[in-house]
Every structure is written in C-alpha cells, then in structure tokens.
Amino acid sequence: MRTFFSQTIAATRPATERSWIPGLPHAVAAASTWLVYGASACVAGLLMASLVSFVMWLPLTALALNHGEPLQADAVAPALTPNAKRALFVLWTATAWLAAAIAR
C-alpha cells in the first residue's frame, strides 16, 4: 500500500534518465529579491528566470555539453558538470535580479 511518505521519498530521488534537469535553483535566486524589491518584483523575477531558463539557458548548456552537436531525439542528455551548474545559477540569479529591478 502506498503512503504519502513513500511517494515523497520516491519524488526526492530523480530518475537517472532525467537527472540532468537541475531542479529549481532559479526559484531560490528569484526569491532572494523579495527583501530588496518586494513581492511583485520577486514574482516577476521568478517568472522571467523560469521562462529564460527553459527557453534559453538549459538548451544552450545542453548544446555546450554535447560539444556543439544538437541532441538526438533518442540520445541521453549530457550530465551537468559542476561548472555548468555554477554558470546556470549565475545566469538564473542575474536574470531574476534584472527582471525584478525592471519590474520594480
């Protein structure tokens, strides 16, 4: 019988075929703007960081990790290196703060 706790544990361990998806650090980067700019600017930063993340930053990172070759439909996505994770977090943070400053 499945319980809430057993499903929670399963949800915290990503599947190996999707482990390259970095999670939600862009939400943490956007939430940091709350204290400086307020709630509405924080939400604007989160929305912009989310949109830009999945439209621009993640595809460019996957392309770079695949040595400039486009990913094949049946190929396994390349694993994020620690430097790629750091670069993505810097890009997310810059995007969130810029969007929050503009929305202010």
Contacts of 101 (CB under 8 A, 6+ apart): 37, 41
For the stretch 52-101, pLDDT in tens is 888 888 788 878 888 888 778 887 877 778 888 888 888 888 988 999 99
Domain boundaries, the chain: 25-103
Residue 22 has a pLDDT of 55
Residue 101 has a pLDDT of 92
Helix (H) or strand (E) segment spanning residue 70: none
Please tell me whether the overall predicted TM-score, pTM, comes out greater than 0.95 for this model: no
| Mean pLDDT computed over every residue of the chain | 76
